[in-house]
Structure 1
């Protein structure tokens, strides 16, 4: 997963998006990793990708299975891009999706758009192996 700075305008959504993922950075990652491990061990079907050198972790799954960590941000799908459930970028995600595709080598790659930042990488397809959650 790679990270790049990006400056956009954001506004609060009138209706939140349904959560499809959760993202954590830096000091929040260990808490998200720990709750993800608990949920996967209990049978939750989650997928994840990380930019370990950049200090990011994104966990994808059904809303009811998503882990929680204080300081993590829930994301929802908007035009094929993950954005914070409570925020809407301008220009809209539909218009940003294709220009942002050049940041990932994968045609169906993951794009997560956050205030001030875009995260890209392969979209995880396989269920999360608990061993993957071991601290780096």
Structure 2
């Protein structure tokens, strides 16, 4: 299946921010800073910290140069400024099968699919820092 992206007419509300590669360390640092100042955030990280998704209220989300803000579209996190085609509603179930995440968190970005368990507990700063 061919996946294409187009710019959204109106951005989605930001519900998360994602980073991969070298950007993860900067996003982790700002996430820790925000949590220590009272923000209630959730996080899901890839093996060996290859990627990080931080979820929370839009005003509390951390920032890192190169990170991508995500919003919910059809049960999948996608960039707030871009829309996949076919639409996210049609992609959700195939992505869950592809990533073997029956009830997990899936983020679809251009050229990248991130999947992991849906975080349930507020972020533990000690766990994220280690």
Q: Bin the TM-score by the shorter chain.
A: over 0.9
Deviations along 1:93-134, whole A, 9 cap, x unmatched? Answer: 000001111134443211100001111111101000001221
The TM-score, its normalising length taken from structure 1, stands at 0.90
Name 1:63's counterpart in structure 2: 58
1:77 to 72, 76, 79: 72
Mean Cα displacement is larger for which, 113-122 or 47-56? Answer: 47-56
- Aligned CA RMSD, in angstroms, stands at 1.5
2:128 to 120, 127, 133: 133
SS state at 1:108 partner: coil
Structure 2 residue runs without a partner (length 5+) = none
Name 1:116's counterpart in structure 2: 111
Q: Please identify which structure carries the higher helix content.
A: 2
Task: Tell me by how many angstroms 1:54 deviates.
Answer: 6.1
Does the 8 Å CA contact 1:32/1:72 hold for their aligned counterparts? yes
- Rounded to whole Å, the distance in 1 between the matches of 2:47 and 2:129 is 12
SS state at 2:48 partner: coil
- Rounded to whole Å, the distance in 1 between the matches of 2:18 and 2:110 is 13
Task: Tell me by how many angstroms 1:77 deviates.
Answer: 0.1
Structure 1 residue runs without a partner (length 5+) = 1-5
Q: Does 1:23 align with 2:22?
A: no
The TM-score, its normalising length taken from structure 2, stands at 0.94
SS state at 1:120 partner: strand
